[in-house]
Amino acid sequence: MAQINLTDTNGRKTTLNFNEGGTLMQTITDAGFDDLLAICGGMCSCATCHVYIHESQLADLPDMNADEADLLAMSEHREDSSRLACQLRMSAALDGLRVTIAPSE
């Protein structure tokens, strides 16, 4: 099974299995990580599933759409490696993805 390497907002590192076709947000919330709020439930309307992707892996991800870019532009914690977990579909190509949950707004 494919996995991601997750760091939560307290710096705790863990490895999570993921199902292909689901989103990164689903993978993290299904594992019980409450610091990824995901208030809108994956509708790309709130940015509460903000994560940082390890910079060396950003090129492996699909391009950011305009809605995601607009939501992240309003975040005080936005970095070059910022993405919304609800917008990232999991696939075998993302096995080993290193993700850090961004601080809450």
What pLDDT digit, counting tens, does each position of 15-74 carry?
999 999 999 999 999 999 999 999 999 999 999 999 999 999 999 999 999 999 999 999
Strand partners, 51: 83, 101
Q: How many Cα atoms sit within 13 Å of 33 on the Cβ side? A: 30
- Give the per-residue pLDDT at 97: 98
Q: Residue 24: which domain range?
A: 3-101
CATH of residue 28's domain is 3.10.20.30
**Cα–Cα dist 86/38, whole Å:** 8
Q: Residue range 67-86: average pLDDT?
A: 97
Q: What is the DSSP letter of 41?
A: S
Please give the torsion angle defined by the CA atoms of residues 15, 19, 20 and 26, in that order, rounded to the nearest 10 degrees.
Answer: -80
pTM: 0.95
Q: Considering its fold, how many domains does the chain have in total?
A: 1
- Give the per-residue pLDDT at 55: 96
Neighbours of 45 (CB within 10 A): 13
Q: Residue 105 — very low, low, confident or very high, per pLDDT cuts 50/70/90? A: confident
